[in-house]
Structure 1
Amino acid sequence: MRASMNTDSAGTPRSAPGERHLLPPLEGAKAAALVAALLLGVIAYQLNASMVTPALPEMARTLNSSLGAISHVSSLFFLAGAIAGVVFSRLSDFTGRRKTLLTVLGLTCVGTLLCALAPSLPVLLAGRVLQGLSSAAFQIAYVILNERLSARVFGTALGVVTAINGGVGGLDGYLGGLLSDHLGFRAIFAAILLVGAAATVCVAMVVPADARPVTRGRMDWWGSAALSIALVCLTYGVSHGSTDGWTRPWTLAYAIGAVVFFAVFAAVERRTATPLIAIEHLRSRRIWPVIATTVLALTGVFAVINFTVIVLSQDAHAGFGLTASRSALLYLTPAAVIGVVAAPLSGWLAGRTGWIPMLRVGLVLCVATLTLIAVFPQHRWIVFAAVAVLGVFYNGLVLTTLNGLGVTQSPKEAPAALPGLNGAAFGFGAGLGIGVVAPFAADATIGGYTAALCISIGITALALVASLCIVPTPDQPDQE
């Protein structure tokens, strides 16, 4: 079994240079209450991510906007989430986990209220940006769990929280559609506001206050700004590339902007005393392969589950000709429901056998399952069974171990740095995957769908290769 980041090999609490003294791990009812409070906090994010999607057409009608304009309701939310995950996670090293998490949840509630009362699309979009900050709740929750729980229960608890990332039992999108149909889109935000307020109260009551900051010094705001602009350019570059073409002027302009600001970020990080994450760490095989594996795994598998198979299932000519609701019920809900059970079990297993080996096993099984779909794309029930099995291999094994490695591989002097960067990698990988395969799936032919699936298989195989480059931290000698 691995040694926890807050214990030595004998299980004794200890602190690393530059870190606060870590308290003995919570046990029993206190540990369960902590997990429940953090779970409610991440549910507030997941509801914002999934309940809103079915209501987008109704939002467009109510606010007199086009569907193209209303699409920013989702894109800005996820972009804000990618940036917030990096910035607020690292900020918690300086200001404390509890304080930062309460700030994130408070701003999320303000944004939800704006969305519920929005008289126009610009106000709604401003609210969605504030709501996107709730993405940081995941990364902060993972770090809190690692710091406040024993190694014996950390993996299972992390799996419980990760399970929500696949949807709240697979029913949140369906509930959002019902509220939109019968009460309008504002009812969705009213329901989310209640959850967000409850999460804020529970976190304030249950999450222990930090004795003092983990990292002394100042937050690297210049580095945060440079990385944020680079992520914006990268995200919009992928978006424009997938819709307008990869050689179009705007696509190239965003690509150049991403390269320039990533270079600025690297220059800033070399000169600041307390960087967002030190360049030497980014070069380390303990860090960069984790980020690379996350981007590639999300690029490969997410696009299959959430795009290619959904489009194929609704194609009346080359696919199965299903309605949107039936397609979601058959090809989205089962994997999400299975993931709710598989993720905690995966965390429990990884905590005992090693996070890196379990990640590699999950990726091998994902490649095999995607290959099955590519070989039999016209067999509805084979595709159904394969996607459902991905609830174990992908939603369970891969996502849980990637989140676990984001915590356990992070530098000791900046324990929230890698979780934040890894969270941004999740969002970028998901968007990149759809952008890459969309032109092939858009052909609406079996050849096009097969090509899209084969590309996803190849990218997932690259994720497996990247995972082979991960070197475990010194206090995890059993990982290899």
Structure 2
Amino acid sequence: MLVLPLATAPVVERARTPRAGVLIGTLVLAILTFQLNATLLSAALPAVGAQLGESMQDVARIQSVFFLSGAVFGMVFSRWSDFLGRKRSLVIVLTVLLIGTVICALAPSLPLLLLGRVLQGASNATFTISFLLLSERLNNRLFGISVGIITSVNGGLFGVDGFLGGYVTDTIGWRFLFVITLCLGLVAISCVALFVPKDEPPTQDGSMDWWGAGILSLFLVLLTSLISQASSAGWADPLTMGYLVGATVSAVAFVLVESRTRRPLIPIHALRSRQVWPLLLSTVLTLAGVFSALNFTVVMLSQNDQVGYGLTASMSALLYLTPTALVGVTAAIFSGWIAVRIGWITSLRLSSGVIALITAGLAVFAMDRWMVFGLLIVMGVFYLGLFQSSVNGVSVLNSPPEARGALPGLNGACFGIGIGTGIALVAPVVAAGTVAGFQTALWISVGLTLASFLASLILRPAA
């Protein structure tokens, strides 16, 4: 069993007091501000496109830009919190979220809505900062349990948020969804101010590596743009080639800058190790495959009147989002305890393999609505439950000691990059609105999840 670094007797003792429960509850509220902004809008995408007069391929950017922004903000704020402090970082993140939510609620056009979603993406950092904060205050056993509890928030409000998003869209309108998340954000930032302990001395002296953060952020944006452009226009497209050159140059520049920086964003030697890069690759590939299948392809298929199931937004969410999330939330609560028992990396490999099999089942039985319903419930156990707890736990335990916030931040960025990449890959074929298009999208997801399982086999624990 892996041993959590930096655990000290006073910290463990403090974690056993009732205040630990209050701390976890406060962090759950903060994380919900990100999760609900992701899940509430899934069932509302067709309505947003209809009201704003935009195509489904353009509307898909509402989700992809949110997760891309989350990838960048999550990576930057997680590492910055090593210098700035965990509590102060959470307050800044939630403030940016609130500004973005107001813009989204009032946006008269897609460009302004996308701007608001970029700012809302900052809330992705609540995950990684919370994991870091808990790892510094809980012992190994309680940390495993808390990882499961925090990860369970990935399912939202026990799956009710998926149905709520569809119901509110059908009755009041999709803009009211942002009013809900605005109220939650105000409650969360108040609780963080009141209940999260004051920042202790920073885990590192010195200053944030802003050059490295800026270059890596540019790389993430160019990489996602490259995949999106290539999937819609092909690799021979001039803009695609421009993105490819830009991504390559920024990657090389990042390595050169980090090799000469005293306090790098992440040490290059750690990034090259089998403790780091296979984990990041597994996260990207799993999120790309599973999120695009569950929250995009199946949602669009279920609401398609010509070749799909012909369901309303609320009924689609009730059948294909809510049960999956409900089961996933329940499984996640226990998944951290299971991962501690069988080993974090063993848990990651097990869940990755099963996820690949389930995704293949979705591709084969795509037109059987009840088979899809059953497969998604099983997916909830292994994806929202075991996989996400395992990958989050490993990101903290495998992070280099000289940069505690580095790997959790990069892993959090991989969540957003994976989701944005997956939607970009499947959106062009889903937009065709044909049976072949939906099935092709699901087979793309199969390839991604299988590659993730292979990456998990390469992963090794930190010494």
- Normalising by structure 2, what TM-score? 0.91
Q: 1:286 to 1:210 in 2, by over 3 A?
A: same
Do 1:45 and 1:137's aligned partners in 2 also have CA atoms closer than 8 Å?
Answer: yes
- 1:429 is matched by which residue type in structure 2? G
1:5 paired to 2:1 = no
Backbone CA RMSD of aligned residues: 2.7
Distance in 2 between residues matched to 1:139 and 1:317, nearest whole Å: 42
Comparing 344-353 with 33-42, greater Cα deviation is found at: 344-353
CA shift digits 1:189-211 (9 cap, x unpaired): 33222211111111112111222
Q: How does 1:149-228 map to 2 (within 5 A)?
A: 149-228=138-217
Distance in 2 between residues matched to 1:275 and 1:248, nearest whole Å: 35
Partner of 1:200, secondary structure, is helix
Residue aligning to 1:432: 421
Distance in 2 between residues matched to 1:112 and 1:459, nearest whole Å: 32
- 2:89 is matched by which residue type in structure 1? T
CA shift digits 1:374-419 (9 cap, x unpaired): 4434433222211110010111111111111111111111111111
1:288 paired to 2:268 = no
Distance in 1 between residues matched to 2:423 and 2:60, nearest whole Å: 15
Residue aligning to 1:137: 126
Match for residue 391 of structure 2 among 394, 402, 414: 402
Residue aligning to 2:101: 112
Partner of 2:299, secondary structure, is helix
Alpha-carbon distance, 1:320 to partner: 3.9
Distance in 1 between residues matched to 2:148 and 2:201, nearest whole Å: 28
Alpha-carbon distance, 1:139 to partner: 0.8
Q: 1:234 to 1:370 in 2, by over 3 A?
A: same
Q: How many residues align?
A: 462
Match for residue 459 of structure 1 among 448, 457, 461: 448
Distance in 2 between residues matched to 1:165 and 1:119, nearest whole Å: 30
- 1:4 is matched by which residue type in structure 2? L
Q: 1:65 to 1:302 in 2, by over 3 A?
A: closer
Q: Moved runs in structure 1, 4+ residues, more than 6 A?
A: none
**In percent, how many aligned pairs have the same letter?**
47
Do 2:64 and 2:423's aligned partners in 1 also have CA atoms closer than 8 Å?
Answer: no
Residue aligning to 1:269: 258
1:45 paired to 2:34 = yes
Residue aligning to 1:478: none
Distance in 1 between residues matched to 2:199 and 2:426, nearest whole Å: 45
1:387 paired to 2:370 = no
Do 1:238 and 1:431's aligned partners in 2 also have CA atoms closer than 8 Å?
Answer: no
Do 1:25 and 1:147's aligned partners in 2 also have CA atoms closer than 8 Å?
Answer: no
CA shift digits 1:311-333 (9 cap, x unpaired): 44445565544444333322222
Q: 1:171 to 1:392 in 2, by over 3 A?
A: same
Do 1:73 and 1:128's aligned partners in 2 also have CA atoms closer than 8 Å?
Answer: yes
Residue aligning to 2:287: 298
Do 2:222 and 2:247's aligned partners in 1 also have CA atoms closer than 8 Å?
Answer: yes
Q: 1:173 to 1:246 in 2, by over 3 A?
A: farther
Distance in 1 between residues matched to 2:41 and 2:336, nearest whole Å: 29
Residue aligning to 2:246: 257
Alpha-carbon distance, 1:57 to partner: 6.2
Residue aligning to 1:469: 458
Q: How does 1:86-105 map to 2 (within 5 A)?
A: 86-105=75-94
- 2:229 is matched by which residue type in structure 1? H
Partner of 2:15, secondary structure, is coil
- 1:284 is matched by which residue type in structure 2? S
Distance in 2 between residues matched to 1:56 and 1:368, nearest whole Å: 28
Do 1:51 and 1:176's aligned partners in 2 also have CA atoms closer than 8 Å?
Answer: yes
Residue aligning to 1:333: 322
Do 1:154 and 1:351's aligned partners in 2 also have CA atoms closer than 8 Å?
Answer: no
Distance in 2 between residues matched to 1:148 and 1:439, nearest whole Å: 46
Residue aligning to 2:411: 422
Unpaired segments ≥5 residues, structure 2: none
Q: 1:185 to 1:320 in 2, by over 3 A?
A: closer
- Normalising by structure 1, what TM-score? 0.88
Q: 1:111 to 1:407 in 2, by over 3 A?
A: same
CA shift digits 1:35-57 (9 cap, x unpaired): 10000001111222232445556
Q: How does 1:77-88 map to 2 (within 5 A)?
A: 77-88=66-77
Match for residue 344 of structure 1 among 333, 336, 346: 333
Q: 1:296 to 1:126 in 2, by over 3 A?
A: closer
Do 1:281 and 1:287's aligned partners in 2 also have CA atoms closer than 8 Å?
Answer: yes
Distance in 2 between residues matched to 1:137 and 1:450, nearest whole Å: 35
Alpha-carbon distance, 1:133 to partner: 0.8
CA shift digits 1:50-73 (9 cap, x unpaired): 3244555666677x6645766554
Alpha-carbon distance, 1:301 to partner: 2.5
Match for residue 354 of structure 2 among 337, 360, 365: 365
CA shift digits 1:348-374 (9 cap, x unpaired): 110222110011111122222233334
Do 2:70 and 2:124's aligned partners in 1 also have CA atoms closer than 8 Å?
Answer: yes
Residue aligning to 1:354: 343
